[in-house]
Amino acid sequence: MITKIPVSEPTISEQDIKTVKKCMESGWISSAGPAIYRFGRKFAKFIGTKYALPVSTGTAALHLALLAIGVKPSDEVIMPALTFVSPASMTTALGARAIFVDVVKNTFLIDPAKIEAKITSKTKAIIPVHLYGYPADLDPILRIANKYRLKIIEDCAEALGATYHGKKVGSFGNVTCFSFYGNKFITTGEGGILSTNCARIYKKAQLYCDHGMRKEKRYYHQVVGYNYRLTAIQASLGISQLKRIKTFLRLRKKINDNYKKELKGLRKIQWAQKTADSEPVCWLTTILLPNKKTRDRLWQFLKEKGVETRKVFYPLPNMPPYPAKESFPYAQEISQRGLSLPTFTHIKAAQIKFVSKAIKEFLEN
């Protein structure tokens, strides 16, 4: 079956191409040069943090964040049971243990009321994930972190531009991670950024990012490090894309609004609810169907019509590397009922209508 409408694809302009070409012609194409610095500076200004370190992926940013706050083997890091795997995989890679908390049923986000019971003497940090563009309820999480002297790593991979109390997510935690994968709000192909207001965290992340090598003493490796550097070519694309971020966010909101308008009145569909005093952004428009069987059949029905959709993440504790003895009923339910619809900046209104009409046809029959 030929895919007529993909679930996501990047929006690349002629100006993006010109900017990348100019970078290539300059000769500064690797991980040195002015584009890296400019991208980090402009991104930090947009988010409202002092520092931003461009890196190779959002997952690399998470790994560096954990290293920079001092997570060690035998430490524990609290995170939601429903999210992409990176927080758990990077925690486990350090020899630490991922501790899972169920989500709130109507927001898909980590439940602050269930965090405190998971804290032990080994707990080092909490990773609230702003899933599908919806800001987590940060006030109670920050209070808990302050009470137990824990670090906060915000995972903003899917929420660039979202706000909480009128302030952009990514500026609340001790350190924050963003992704610029091809399906994100802006893209560098692969890529990510670590942002923080703490000079010590920033410098430590820089050290681990570049082979553990001290900047003032080339080829002297102070710690075991990694090559998590972003290239100047990617950074130049990021700079060009970032210039249009407000337009991208506005268009994505319109996409989400159009889906809700087209699917209005379908009682078999539920939508995520935002937390108090937050303004989400639209990463992937995601709906909940009545049950797994209906979701899976709709997924297949749309596939046959050439519409690509995406099932919601599997709960992390359901997978072999991260077994947990307890159950996480809301994470499980959302995983089984959730379906993400085609969402990308340049999707056409007619395509949204086509997808919505197909959903209505399926559900009404």
pLDDT mean for each 10 residues of the chain (365 residues): 87 98 94 94 98 98 98 97 98 98 97 98 98 98 98 98 98 98 97 98 98 91 96 98 98 98 96 96 98 98 98 97 94 98 98 98 93
Residue 15 CA: distances (Å) to CA of 21, 240, 242: 10, 7, 12
245-364, which class in CATH?
Answer: alpha beta
Q: Are 145 and 132 in contact (CB under 8 A)?
A: no
Q: Are 182 and 294 in contact (CB under 8 A)?
A: no
Let me know if domain 14-242 sits in CATH 2.40.37.10. Answer: no
Q: Are 332 and 318 in contact (CB under 8 A)?
A: yes
Locate 252 and state its tokens: 């994505």
**Residue 365 has what pLDDT?**
85
Q: Global pTM?
A: 0.96
Question: Tell me, what amino acid is at 323?
Answer: P
Secondary structure E strands in the chain = 51-55, 76-80, 97-101, 123-126, 151-155, 163-164, 167-168, 175-179, 192-196, 270-271, 278-279, 286-288, 310-311, 338-340
pLDDT tens-digit map of 345-355: 999 999 999 99
Secondary structure E strands in 105-174 = 123-126, 151-155, 163-164, 167-168
Residue 139 has a CB neighbour count (10 Å cut-off) of 15
DSSP-assigned letters across all residues of 248-303: HHHHHHHHHHHHHHHTTT-TT-EE--PPTTEE---SS-EEE-SSHHHHHHHHHHHH
Largest Cα span, the chain: 69
**Residue 1 has what pLDDT?**
56
Do 14-242 and 245-364 agree at the fold level? no
Domain boundaries, the chain: 14-242, 245-364
